[in-house]
Amino acid sequence: MIKRGDEVTLRLEGAAVEGKCIARMDGLVVFVRGGVPGDTARVCITKVKKQFLEADFRTLEQPSPDRVQARCRYFGVCGGCTWQELHYDAQLQSKRRSVVDALERIGGLVGVEVLPAAAAADIYWYRNKMEFSFGERWLTVEEMARVADELNGEQSRLALGLHLPGRFDKVLDVEECWLQSEASVRIVNATRRFALAAGLNVHSTRTHEGYLRNLVIREGRRTGERMVNLVTFDDRPDVMAAYTETLLAEVPEVSTVVNNITERKSQVALGDVEKVYHGPGSITEKIGGRTYRISANSFFQTNTAQAERLYDVAAEMAALTGSETVYDLYSGTGTIALHLAGLAREVIGIETVPQAIEDAKSNAAFNSVPNCTFLLGDLKERLTRDTAWTAHHSAPDVVVIDPPRSGMHEAVARQVLHMGARRIVYVSCNPATQARDLKILVSTGRYRVNRAQPVDMFPHTSHVENVALLEAAG
Ligand SMILES: C[S@@+](CC[C@H](N)C(=O)[O-])C[C@H]1O[C@@H](n2cnc3c(N)ncnc32)[C@H](O)[C@@H]1O
């Protein structure tokens, strides 16, 4: 009988959810953390259940042909990337396969044309936003030796970096990161140096004391603008003024510095109060010829180039001719609506977060787009009870849907079926909930899923965005 702690040799057959590998043993599925599909590896069993096992990768016995050298020295410890050791082509194939599997197994949709995943041109330094955390220093064994030397044996208690996977109490101090940019790395290191020199302490959610919480860096990849947002527990204007001066001297590419202040108990990097210490307090970014103003707490897709790709796929599937009414459901800050506005007669966006609606309206005004209307409200209400707005707008020719990871409420999916649109374009960051919702959308026989296009927004992770096109029969 296999038990927890046993070590066995397995061949890792494929990719599973959350970047894990899948293997088989004694007729059971084993989810392995670490390794890449195609490896033969020694693994240690960590969980034994009736239907499946879980294991951690220990040592490599036979490398997969898809194995490559990870670029980052923190790979395997840090929670940021899980697939740096898997060749990028194999990552893309895995992502496409996860879409096909979800469509078939969850949606019962066999034979849908799923195109190859659209690759990112930049597989490193692709993010326009990074959120680093302050924490008490946590080091790997190897690092402990190196850093202890550097610090002459004195252990600092301040770390600035990323949380270890699943450990909200442990922060890995990072001096390099390949996710955002070279300037972002300099900002992290300059901030850490300043915090240490000024003797600043880290906020603890346990004791509810300490000043430093998060460092959020946002970049306009197409404008070169760069925002540094230091999230702190309390308001210390002298510290912020000194920090701003030091930072600008060391990283002149920073165009604005803001301080979000929050006494909240949770670890969300959101301020209740915001103070601007340098520049306009916001940055701009460009997607598809539109310019978006992004403030410290506004939502914006984190991979600019691939977001544009995603919206282009949605536009291509929507096949607009200029005469259509489009409904953009779950419209967020209006980026999809604005991307389609020039191709349609009218676009109506519906979204539940008031700030997102405000941002969407100001983005429309900023870009002089006259034919977008943004409505605030829960879609379930807006499509069922609270429908007076439908008297002022035509029924949709095309419906675009971009829900959160949890997918659509069943009542919303059923209501969409009654709208009579010719085409439905479903953008999703979770193929499993998308497949579940598509099953409802095809249930009456009126619509068919004709095509799907996965888009890779997050290289080196198992996340995949997928756009599906439903067309009305006849
Ligand atoms: C994946 S985001 C889409 C953002 C937008 N399409 C974009 O590309 O920037 C999902 C959005 O759905 C909104 N949302 C979640 N539940 C909702 C609901 N029940 N009714 C309306 N909007 C909702 C969220 O606030 C979020 O802005």
Ligand 1 center to 91 CA (angstroms) = 27
User: What pLDDT is recorded for position 212?
Assistant: 96
Beta-strand pair 447-455/465-472: antiparallel
Tell me what the pLDDT averaged over the chain comes to. 92
What is the secondary structure of 158-227 as a DSSP string?
Answer: -EEEEEETTEEEEEEE-S--SSS-HHHHHHHHHHHHHHHHTT--B-BTTTTB-SEEEEEEEE-TTT--EE
Per-residue pLDDT band for 170 (boundaries 50, 70, 90) equals confident
Ligand 1 center to 332 CA (angstroms) = 5
Ligand 1 center to 305 CA (angstroms) = 20
Per-residue pLDDT band for 413 (boundaries 50, 70, 90) equals very high
How confident is the model over 119-144, as pLDDT tens digits?
Answer: 999 999 999 999 999 998 666 556 65
| Residue among 147, 122, 149, 152 at smallest CA distance from 137 | 147
Tell me which of 340, 352, 455 to substitute to probe ligand 1's pocket, judged by most ligand atoms within 8 Å of the beta carbon. Answer: 352
pTM for this prediction: 0.91
Sign of the dihedral defined by the CA atoms of residues 147, 148, 154, 155, in that order:
positive
Beta-strand pair 14-15/21-25: antiparallel
Give ligand 1 pocket residues (Cβ under 6 A).
301, 330-333, 335-336, 350-353, 356, 378-380, 402-404
> Residues 18-23: what's their mean pLDDT?
88
Asked whether 228 and 187 are in contact (CB, 8 A), the reply is yes
> Residues 404-414: what's their mean pLDDT?
95
> Residues 61-79: what's their mean pLDDT?
91
User: What pLDDT is recorded for position 288?
Assistant: 94
Chain centre to alpha carbon of residue 197 = 33
Nearest CA to ligand 1 atom 15: 404
Q: Is the pLDDT of residue 205 over 60?
A: yes
Q: List 29's β-bridge partners, or say none.
A: 24, 52
Terminal Cα distance for the chain, rounded:
58
User: What pLDDT is recorded for position 167?
Assistant: 73
Asked whether 411 and 304 are in contact (CB, 8 A), the reply is no
Reply yes or no on whether 21 is catalytic: no
**Residue 362 or residue 15, greater confidence:** 362
What is the secondary structure of 293-349 as a DSSP string?
Answer: EEETT----S-HHHHHHHHHHHHHHHT--SS-EEEEES-TTSHHHHHHHTTSSEEEE
Q: Is the pLDDT of residue 315 over 90?
A: yes
User: What pLDDT is recorded for position 399?
Assistant: 98
From the CA atom positions of the chain, what is the Rg in Å?
24
Among 146-160, 241-255, 340-354, where is mean pLDDT lowest?
Answer: 146-160
Percent of the residues in the chain that have a pLDDT greater than 70, as a whole number: 95
Alpha-carbon span 34 to 56, nearest angstrom: 6
- Reading the block at residue 271, the tokens are 């301020």
Ligand 1 center to 458 CA (angstroms) = 19
Beta-strand pair 212-219/129-135: antiparallel
Tell me which of 351, 455, 458 to substitute to probe ligand 1's pocket, judged by most ligand atoms within 8 Å of the beta carbon. Answer: 351
| Residue among 274, 225, 278, 223 at smallest CA distance from 247 | 278
Q: Tell which atom from ligand 1 comes closest to the C-alpha of 331.
A: 6
Identify the helix (H) or strand (E) that includes residue 143.
helix 141-150
Ligand 1 center to 328 CA (angstroms) = 10
Among 255-259, 270-274, 276-280, where is mean pLDDT lowest?
Answer: 270-274
User: What pLDDT is recorded for position 154?
Assistant: 46
Nearest CA to ligand 1 atom 12: 330
Per-residue pLDDT band for 1 (boundaries 50, 70, 90) equals confident
Q: Is the pLDDT of residue 465 over 70?
A: yes
User: What pLDDT is recorded for position 473?
Assistant: 84
- Reading the block at residue 332, the tokens are 């967020």
Identify the helix (H) or strand (E) that includes residue 246.
helix 237-250
Q: Tell which atom from ligand 1 comes closest to the C-alpha of 403.
A: 10
Alpha-carbon span 204 to 210, nearest angstrom: 6
Domains of the chain by start residue, with CATH:
7-67 (2.40.50.140), 93-122+303-472 (3.40.50.150), 129-287 (2.40.50.1070)
Nearest CA to ligand 1 atom 6: 331
Q: Tell which atom from ligand 1 comes closest to the C-alpha of 333.
A: 9
> Residues 213-225: what's their mean pLDDT?
97
Ligand 1 center to 412 CA (angstroms) = 13
> According to the per-residue pLDDT averaged within each range, which of 158-172, 351-365, 421-435 is highest?
421-435
Per-residue pLDDT band for 153 (boundaries 50, 70, 90) equals very low
Ligand 1 center to 427 CA (angstroms) = 11
Per-residue pLDDT band for 19 (boundaries 50, 70, 90) equals confident
Tell me which of 128, 330, 335, 357 to substitute to probe ligand 1's pocket, judged by most ligand atoms within 8 Å of the beta carbon. Answer: 330
| Residue among 98, 69, 103 at smallest CA distance from 434 | 103
User: What pLDDT is recorded for position 80?
Assistant: 82
Q: Is the pLDDT of residue 9 over 90?
A: yes
